[in-house]
Amino acid sequence: MIKTPGNRNDGIKSARKGVYFVLFIVSLFVLIFSNIVIQRVSGSLNSSDWFQVDAKLLHASIEERQGTTSNSSRTKYTYYSPKILYEYKVEDQFYTGNRVSWLKKFDDGYMLIKAKEFKYKYKYNELITIYVNPENHADSTVLRDVAWQNIKIVLIACIVFWLLFWGCIYLLVCKLKTK
């Protein structure tokens, strides 16, 4: 079959349809992963100007959660997170708080270390450092930094999907032009 301009355009049109479909799917993943990264980082960024206060540790325990691998329900894992309660005073008013970090995360690494630190290192009524929202004193957290070790996989996936998104746009605009 001899290639005519009409046959070439038909091939490009069908290729464009395929790229549009891939672009739609990639766009959904870009939205999902970008939203996850923004949620996990925004709390830390918003609290960067919160002021520091000493708080009394009222209770500390290690919260456990059981999990299994996706391919085998026989392999069980235990994940940990600190569970604390603290009391602090701002402008002659007492408040209680229980937020450790912006990300309520269970794992067997960083959060386990933090949980053991609160449970075994600090004693009841011992002072800990917290950060308080200057606009709403009832809003506080112990850790305000971004726990990058807990979001690196999501961040990498987000970057990969953004690259795929822009790759599809490049294909549509530069390589699959119809005349």
Q: How much is the pLDDT for 150?
A: 63
Window from 103-112, 145-154, 165-174 with minimum mean pLDDT: 145-154
pLDDT-based confidence at residue 149 (cuts at 50, 70, 90):
low
Q: Could you read off the pLDDT of 94-117 as tens digits, one per residue?
A: 999 999 887 677 777 778 888 888
* Chain position carrying tokens 């456990």: 64
Task: Report the residue count for the chain.
Answer: 179
Mean pLDDT, range 63-87, rounded to an integer: 81
Give the helix ranges, DSSP H, for the chain. 5-46, 110-116, 148-170
pLDDT above 90 coverage of the chain, percent: 23
Among 144, 130, 142, CA closest to 52: 130
* Chain position carrying tokens 């479909």: 21
Q: How much is the pLDDT for 92?
A: 95
Q: Could you read off the pLDDT of 27-61 as tens digits, one per residue?
A: 898 888 888 778 777 777 788 889 999 999 999 99
* Chain position carrying tokens 């953004």: 162
**pTM beyond 0.85, yes or no:** no
- 21 pLDDT more than 60: yes
- 156 pLDDT more than 90: no
Q: What angle do CA 25, 69, 61 make, to 5 degrees?
A: 110
